[in-house]
Structure 1
Amino acid sequence: MFFHAAKAFGFLSAPSNALLLLGLAGVVASLLGYRAGFALTTAALVGFALAGLSPLGNLLLNPLEDRFPRAAGEPAPAGIVVLGGSFDTVVAGARKEVVLTDAAERMTEIAELARRWPEARIAFTGGSNAVLYDGATEAELAARMLESFGVPRERLTLESRSRNTVENARFTRELVTPKPGERWMLVTSAYHMPRAIGCFRKEGFDVEAWPVDYRTRGPEDAFRPFSSVSAGLRRTDVAVREWVGLVTYWALGYVDGPLPRP
């Protein structure tokens, strides 16, 4: 129930979708003779311009990306947890190929980390979050990709049931059963790290941040506009949905605060 509700809410929380619905409502209202139609349509167009061309997406994303710096490299960790989100499971299932998304760095970073810490266990967590179409699970795609990197299968722990960050933390902890005093790294996109760390803490799994997949250069991007509406809208969608996800998880008790601390 939560999964499907979250999907529907996630659709509406993306500014591009919300602005499109607002614009359509304005058009319908105008056709029906309501004076508010013009105002709704105008608001939608102005919103598209602000979200698509202004630095709004960078302003929202930067505090998330800078919240958790990378942990120190020593001592070597006992294990590395990698969150899903790097694979297009629907296309991969149809094409029988490994198909990566724009969060691919979550996986490509592992090639270096596996070489750097050859004794560390690698736990990948991710099932399939497809609603309308069946596809492969992220875990099976991750296994294929990691083995192609030369990582032996016996080093891998694969969790294929989770469909969201809460389940990532819960199911991974059940599988790896970390021992007291063990050091575990968590690899995910930098903007997603606060919510991920918060979920793992809530499950009693103490992990250290290893953020990847940065979308901004840092504070200097706070005043950098976008050269195309599509690029700005995409950045704003990612940022707003992550903030909404954080506040929602906090309200539901999945994390201890609206912006977990390092």
Structure 2
Amino acid sequence: MFFYISKIGYFFIQPSNFLIAVALLGLTLKMLGKWPVTGILLVWLAVAGLAVCGLSPAANWLILPLEERYPRPVEIEAVDGIIVLGGAVDTVVTGGRGDTALTTSGERITIAARLAGLVPDALVIHTGGKGVIVQSQATEAEGAARLFEDFGISPGRVILEDVSRNTWQNAVLTKELVDPQPGQTWLLVTSAYHMPRAMGVFAETGWTGVTAYPVDYRTRGSEDRGLGFSGASKGLRRFDLAFREWLGLIVYRITGRIPVLFPGPEIQKTQQD
């Protein structure tokens, strides 16, 4: 139920959708002749909001703190497993075309080829089922399995969790499947902007020995803080993405799925202590 509520609810509060709805409401009020001044004001507010979110650096202001929260390890030492979170496979297109199609977060899964070579004894775990509300789609595990085979990763090293539909289920179901033991070490691979929530969830489940390996960066770093966008669609896409992640942090904190509002490396130190 939480999955469906989150998907449907976010559709209506997603900034780009919300601003369009405000503009339509304003036009409706103007056309009906009821509160015309209010209607025009709403239209202008919506247009201004779309311009700010789509063309200004606002999207980068939102996403940079998320991406900078966890640094990528300089060196990869021996680890017991590499956990790749879902989100890289377009399950709808994959189901329709019969071959793996990747989303804009494709680096989450393609990086597995490099990491599997760096730590040849580690398990490679992909966790992700169906993340959208559409029929006749494949699971992310199906798409991941094809790519892992193409990468030359031995099937004996691969574990596929194909039921989870959100980050909380990723951690809970994968922990049940893998049964991690004290003293083991794990790499967690997901998009940099998603890493704070992901690490917080794994910490909340009691999974220790997890090291963040962020990928799929959308910015170069602090130098993009003042950088705007050449097209409103680009900025709106990034603004929606960052807004969704901040909202996810708030909801997960309220529902007790992460230990603090903005998880950082300190939560791993607390676990170790």
Return the offset for 1:132.
3.0
SS in 1 for 2:225: helix
4+ aligned runs moved over 2 Å, structure 1: 71-75
Alignment of 1:104-115 (within 5 A): 104-115=106-117
Q: Which amino acid aligns with 1:8?
A: I
Measured in 2, the distance between the counterparts of 1:27 and 1:65 equals: 38
Per-residue CA distance 1:95-143 (angstroms, 9 max, x = gap): 1011000000001111000011000001100000221333000011101
Question: How far apart in 2 are the matches of 1:76 and 1:238?
Answer: 33
Residue type at the aligned position of 1:146: F
1:1-262 equivalences under 5 Å are: 1-33=1-33, 34-35=35-36, 36-206=38-208, 207-262=210-265
Residue 54 of structure 1 contacts residue 232 of structure 1 at CA under 8 Å; is this kept in 2?
yes
Secondary structure of residue in 1 paired with 2:110? helix
- Give the AA of the match of 1:26: G
For 1:171 and 1:179, the matched residues in 2 are separated by 15
In 2 relative to 1, CA 130–74 (structure 1 residues): closer, same or farther, beyond 3 Å?
Answer: closer
CA 1:229–1:74 in structure 2 vs 1: closer, same or farther (change >3 Å)?
closer
Identity %: 49
RMSD: 0.9
Provide TM-score, normalisation by structure 1: 0.98
Separation in 2, partners of 1:140, 1:204: 28
Q: Higher RCO, 1 or 2 (CA under 8 Å, sep at least 6)?
A: 1
Counterpart of 1:243, as a letter, is: W
Deviation of 1:72 (Å)? 5.0
Distance 2:111 2:31 in 1: 53
Alpha-carbon separation, structure 2, partners of 1:188 and 1:130: 18
Look up the SS of the partner of 1:223 in the other structure: coil
Classify the secondary structure of the residue corresponding to 2:182: coil
Paired with 1:17 and 1:258, the residues of 2 have a C-alpha distance of 26
Taking structure 2 as the reference length, what is the TM-score of the superposition? 0.94
Displacement of 1:32 in angstroms is 1.4
